[in-house]
Structure 1
């Protein structure tokens, strides 16, 4: 191990252990040229080699943006991914891709039509190592949860011949995801996060009404997550909860976390990424009900609207949460990722300003609450 590596690890350890660390949820906005690059990829105008060459130059820019903003635990911006859900098709086979509409304004989705098997299982760990080698702060990687994949990728009309039920498909995807978590941990990733907005949607009375037993369905989701993470201890295990991020269009689910608190308490994870800046999320009082072992990734920065939250506004949100949870358990974060869809229109500079102000708020909080 080189002297530079030792120094980097020492810096990371210091930033990780201090009060009010900062992080991101996952995606950063994509500049126009990156959106157009993915257009070319899907239209067959960009070769695999050219894609990797250009993305290898793009990712360090995403890292630099977050480090310049002062973020303590970063991602690669998810700039290598076309979709945060369909990333599973990068490491596994058995899916068919379809498109409705035209180009970037259309909608791509994948459906499971064959037996799910490992395809290129090393690729995400390779991409993680690429980011780790270029970052001076710890790196996190997000994966879609088994329940999320089962909701989005299983179709009764075409999937049931191979997987008779949605639950059977979810069971089949668990070893694929578990292998990814292990590989990412081995690569040196600080946090592996499972994204599960559908678990959070059980806060909404209209969503709950669609199920015979919404609480049982939420616990099914939790059991799938726990099976992915079971016995893994050499990486921080996180779950991201949001009410479906529609960017400038807002959100889908509304309601306090109180409705799913039994399910959240049953999650065997180290960190919950929870949004609180939108009125639909309810009050932070619910944090009193979470186990003390759980770190709170406190959504204190709006990622949807155009308004840039000031450091003082962010500080006030965090201090309000501190009425219900110990300061040592709080990590500052945006509510969600800045690019929930491939055509998201959030400007890159807007995301930078929001992350910069979040880091400035963390400095104020450290000085005020030593």
Structure 2
């Protein structure tokens, strides 16, 4: 396995989640309870994973994923498998300084008894020869999704999670995952902590990996709490400016970010020049399906600051809360838009 897993120019991928089939969980909902149980649930999750893969392939997505079909939530499903966290002892906390949620409590030392996603990743690997990407929650975002009654120190808990994530990531790499992505929406909020210890924790999580690594930093799913927050950010969203300089110096290979339909000044990409960039060219916060030309326009803007061989067209965030037909349409638009720009680059 090498660090150049895809030979296609402008290889497309998704940021993570795709909508679940209606027979597996209630659609258009985060933390949706499973409709199946026991062996039927295991089989249903695998069937859903195969469907998500097929939909990506039919849309022409180059770097495929599991669509997060086997997990209820991008953070808590991983945490459920750890020692030291009690899901019965719940507290209400403010997540990302944005909205209140009832979350589990850290009541003792955190550790991982066994791999969480490796069996699912190995199953996906058997289904395709394409490069595959697997998402894990980042240490800071994990900390931000819990009530800490044990360490009582965000940084200390984050370092413990970084060690656990590193164990998981190494097993995912061994199972054939080509890109391991860490989701860190908290990086868009807690700037001082990101620069003081957040990026260092992330580097601990990727220590020793030979596969490509990515960090995904976005403005969140298209849920009301996030869209309301965006309205308070003014005419320019400059959050990336706070963390990009240090990320540019980090060992992370790829930075995944939100671009299309956002108020992020595109020139901020200059701050991470030299890195591979997954440019979000699909808005997940509305149900309008982009035209291929709209996707292409976003990619052309990004190419002013990112070399073509380092640009990876992507979605802004996960698409779990969207209708499946809309998500399919957006995947098709992403591929078609990338194809337009690929052709233009070939003719230069």
Q: Shorter-normalised TM-score: what interval?
A: 0.7 to 0.9
CA deviation vs aligned residue, 1:317-339 (integer Å, no higher than 9, x gap): 11111122211110000100012
**Equivalent position of 2:245 in the other structure:** 262
Where is the helix percentage greater, Structure 1 or Structure 2?
1
Deviation track 1:126-156 (CA, whole Å, cap 9, x = no partner) reads: 100101111242211111111111111133x
Matches within 5 A, 1:37-76: 41=34, 46-76=36-66
Q: Which residue of 1 aligns with 2:118?
A: 125
Counterparts in 2 of 1:306 and 1:39: CA distance versus 1, 3 Å: closer
Q: CA deviation at 1:251?
A: 6.1
Report the count of equivalent residues.
326
Equivalence for 2:110: 116
Which residue of structure 2 aligns with residue 187 of structure 1? 175
> Which of 239, 257, 268 is matched with 1:286 structurally?
268
The SS at the match of 1:143 is strand
Change (3 A) 1:252 1:107: same
Q: What secondary structure is seen at the aligned counterpart in 1 of 2:85?
A: strand
Whether 2:134 is the aligned partner of 1:144: answer no
Question: What secondary structure does 2:25 align onto?
Answer: helix
| Mapped partners of 1:40, 1:274: distance in 2 | 29
Cα pair 1:296 1:330 within 8 Å, conserved: yes
C-alpha distance in structure 2 between counterparts of 1:174 and 1:191, whole Å: 17
- Could you say which residue in structure 2 is the equivalent of 1:246? 222
1:166 pairs with one of 151, 154, 158: 154
Matches within 5 A, 1:9-48: 16-36=6-26, 41=34, 46-48=36-38
Are the aligned partners of 2:19 and 2:327 in contact in 1 as well (CA < 8 Å)?
yes
Secondary structure of the 2:145 match is helix
Q: Which residue of 2 aligns with 1:205?
A: none
User: 2:293 corresponds to which residue?
Assistant: 312
- Relative to the length of structure 1, the TM-score reads 0.81
TM-score, normalization by structure 2: 0.86
Q: Cα RMSD between the aligned structures?
A: 2.5
Contact 1:222 1:266 in 2 (8 A): no
Task: Work out whether 1:78 is the aligned partner of 2:68.
Answer: yes
Aligned-partner Cα distance in 1 for 2:60–2:38: 33
State the Cα distance separating 1:215 from its structure 2 match.
3.2
CA distance in 1, matches of 2:298, 2:228: 20
Shift of 1:291: 4.0
Q: Secondary structure in 2 aligned to 1:176? A: helix
Please say which structure displays the higher CA radius of gyration. Answer: 1
Partner residue of 1:361?
Answer: 337
Which blocks of at least 5 consecutive residues in structure 1 are unaligned? 1-8, 203-213
Structure 2 gaps of 5+ residues are 93-99
Q: What are the superposed Cα offsets for residues 281-311 of structure 1, whole Å, 9 maximum, x if unpaired? A: x22211112141x101011111111111100
Q: Secondary structure at the match of 1:33?
A: coil
Deviations 1:332-365 (A, max 9, x none): 00100012xxxx3x10110111111111112111
